[in-house]
Amino acid sequence: MRTILIGIIGSVALASLAGCSPWQFYKVDIRQGNYIDQAMVSSLSPGMTRQQVMFIMGTPLLTDPFHQDRWDYYYSFSAGGKAPEQRHVKLYFQGDTLSRIEGNPNPVSP
């Protein structure tokens, strides 16, 4: 009886471990930062106020106390363990108005 019980437990353990190979694990999609696309950046224009920019782009991911006239927007997306797509846009202000836009809102692989 004891041998049968050990055999059943062993076969159940082996069957459960057989499905746990490393290449079968689910890899989670990871999104980080502010989503950025070409349409959002195209709707920006020099002369817009900070509030108007924030309405379109959202709150900037980084605001540097040493560069208060620059807002940085980063976005990174990694699908299922693949190399991440990265987007980075810098917005420069003079006072309260947008003066310059730099960066690439299209996906870039590192």
pLDDT in tens, 58-93: 998 777 788 889 999 988 888 877 778 888 899 999
pTM, two decimal places: 0.68
CATH number of this structure's domain 29-108: 3.30.1450
Task: State pLDDT tens for residues 93-107.
Answer: 999 999 999 987 776
Which of the two residues, 2 and 27, has the higher pLDDT score? Answer: 27
DSSP 4: H
Task: State pLDDT tens for residues 28-68.
Answer: 788 888 888 889 999 999 999 999 999 999 998 777 788 88
Q: What average pLDDT does the chain have?
A: 80
Which among 85, 96, 11, 81 is positioned nearest to 48, based on CA atoms? 96
> Where in the chain are the domains?
29-108
Percent of the chain with pLDDT over 90: 31
Helices (DSSP H) in the chain: which residue ranges?
2-18, 38-42, 50-57
